[in-house]
Chains A and B, each alone.
Chain A
């Protein structure tokens, strides 16, 4: 039985097979060797992160390359980058649920899991770069003995509310979708330890019709409000920049430009994870070539929208005729950091064009390499936006340079470990693909096939 043109999953498998295969990943883990190798690397990176943070807390932010005028550098740069990556998980899960795109059912679980830990990596940056992170609680309105309250009219204060809200909502949305699958894993588990583990996490879910009815409503409403949340969070972050008066930042283009770039980089990471998990757990029957095809198309579309942002940034500066804006444009394209600008343009948009070909989109390693290129490109873009504006502002007397130090790099590379360790634990211990939604997709396809 071959799949017809509209089917995204091969219809020659039963829903029972899918259920056994997916619960089998945590219960009878198939890729122990690869997993431990990946975990060893991840733990090494996490150790580097811990060392870097200890050094930072001991000696202060002076160990980074920050200076005046480049007062924001790697900390904000990587914060924006990580948070942007996280947004794709919510968009895949929530937006595509509402539009009824069934291909999302093979991707939403690990995309959401990615979101959680990417947001953690993002959220840690503003905390550690406070200089005195133990005063973090000053961001919250509490009755202090000094009668001081936070300043709610500043984007810096909005930030913590946006990120904490995003993290909480992502966790709740992820867990709500996970409960039925935890119950499935509980029922498949044979060993006592697993039964207790999944039994407690599943909260006693039994799949009663009225429970499902309430669950569906709740889940859809959560999805409907998670979509504007994504847009609001990254718009808010762009306001950290746009609400200042610096040339190159002070633009109404920034919110959409940031949100689209976020989706672009996030879909690239989702593609990387999809290709990797597909190979690691032999999931070619569930994450099919058609999924890769759709991911490639989405990546291309979001990439072109981000490209539109690049064009309009130039138009914006030229149209304004403002000498400072024009100077910043010139600094970006020909200044000391021109390699950042052209690097971002190259890595973001040149390999991307290969995705116009169907054969490329359907080839795992090709999609993987293009996605990695996009991830690098977006990293360079966030770096470029920050540094090229700051290193030369209005006063020539305060022009300077920025070079990241060893500790800048070690903290950044360390956050990759901070992402990978919990992510690897998650794919080890919970169903990595949404089982009941995949079963439903499969049954619907089989029904259509059988008439």
Chain B
């Protein structure tokens, strides 16, 4: 549908107000909602039942990958070009430890960073929410709650009334 909007976005002035509003909007049965804040609000994520533990697993996967890569690389080099330095062992873990440690960390952080962008579908320079007239304040000192038009319960009048009753400072219908 070409004329279907992205959703309603409501502006709140404080942390407490948006956490309260998000809780009630969920209780009213809305599920397809999103919130935008100037800084991380763990409380809000809990109320909205948002959880994602994949970053930790990505970090672990990156670490294991870097560990194996570093060990394999060094062992292979010693195998392909065995340098005998005073009879010292060719495959000593103690001498490999530093590079193993460094690459474990390097790949853990690389996986984490690329994973963060991929999970968040960034970079994406434009997004419907940016059409909201006062949305530039979401990075400054205002808190925005969005009920998307895709939600089963979305209704132009009822949804707007609900948000107004929750004490929103401003409400806007965002085009997609």
Contacts and interface: CB of A to CB of B under 8 A. Distances in A.
Interface string B50-84: 11111110010001000000000110111011010
A14 B37 contact: no
A214 B102 contact: no
Nearest to A16: B141
B50 A210 contact: yes
B133 interface: no
Interface string A1-37: 0000000000000111001100000000000000000
- Size category of the binding interface on chain B: 35 or more
A222 B54 CA distance: 14
A257 B117 CA distance: 39
B101 A216 contact: no
Q: Would you call the interface of chain A mostly helix, strand, loop, or mixed?
A: helix
B99 A158 contact: yes
A213 B76 CA distance: 41
Interface in A315-354: none
A229 interface: yes
A193 to B, nearest CB: 16
Given A141-B73, A218-B55, A436 B38 contact: yes
A59 interface: no
A204 B126 contact: yes
A173 B113 CA distance: 8
A53 to B, nearest CB: 27
Nearest to A181: B139
10 contacts: A19-B38, A153-B88, A165-B102, A169-B105, A203-B122, A207-B36, A217-B56, A218-B113, A218-B115, A221-B112
A184 B113 contact: no
B166 interface: no
Interface stretch (B41-49, B156-164, B168-176): B41-49
B40 A188 contact: no
Contacts of B85: 151, 153
A212 B45 contact: yes
Contacts, number: 193
B122 A149 contact: no
Given A172-B109, A206-B129, A209-B37, 15 more contacts: A16-B141, A141-B77, A149-B81, A153-B85, A172-B112, A180-B39, A200-B125, A211-B120, A213-B52, A214-B120, A215-B40, A222-B112, A225-B59, A229-B102, A439-B141
Contact of B78 (A20, A152, A205): A152
A232 B106 CA distance: 13
B140 A152 contact: no
B20 interface: no
Interface in A211-266: 211-218, 221-222, 225-226, 228-229, 232-233, 236, 239
B124 interface: yes
Q: Would you call the interface of chain B mostly helix, strand, loop, or mixed?
A: helix
A272 to B, nearest CB: 29
Contact of A203 (B96, B106, B119, B125): B125
A344 B138 CA distance: 51
Contacts of A216: 40, 42
B122 A204 contact: yes
A216 B46 CA distance: 14
Contacts of A155: 98
Contacts of B138: 187, 206-207
Pick from B50, B53, B125, B140 the residue with the most CB of A within 10 Å. B140
Contacts of B115: 218
Given A213-B50, A218-B116, A161 B102 contact: yes
A152 B130 CA distance: 52
Contacts of A152: 73-74, 77-78, 95-96, 99
A422 B121 CA distance: 31
B34 A209 contact: yes
B106 A165 contact: yes
Contact of B139 (A149, A172, A180, A218): A180
A437 interface: yes
A58 interface: no
B109 A169 contact: yes
A153 B92 contact: yes
B64 to A, nearest CB: 13
Given A213-B51, A214-B119, A225-B108, A208 B34 contact: yes
A15 B45 contact: no
Pick from B85, B108, B137 the residue with the most CB of A within 10 Å. B108
Contacts of A211: 120, 122
A183 B130 CA distance: 12
A396 interface: no
A440 interface: yes
B17 interface: no
The 4 tightest CB contacts between A and B, nearest first, are A203-B123, A187-B136, A212-B40, A149-B81
A280 B116 CA distance: 35
Interface in A159-214: 161-162, 165, 168-169, 172-173, 175-176, 180, 183-184, 186-188, 199-200, 203-214
B81 A209 contact: no
Pick from B35, B88, B124, B125 the residue with the most CB of A within 10 Å. B125
B36 A149 contact: no
Given A15-B141, A153-B92, A162 B35 contact: no
Contacts of B103: 161, 165
Given A152-B74, A209-B36, A217 B83 contact: no
Contact of A209 (B50, B54, B136): B50
Contacts of A188: 136, 140
Nearest to B101: A232
A180 B139 CA distance: 8
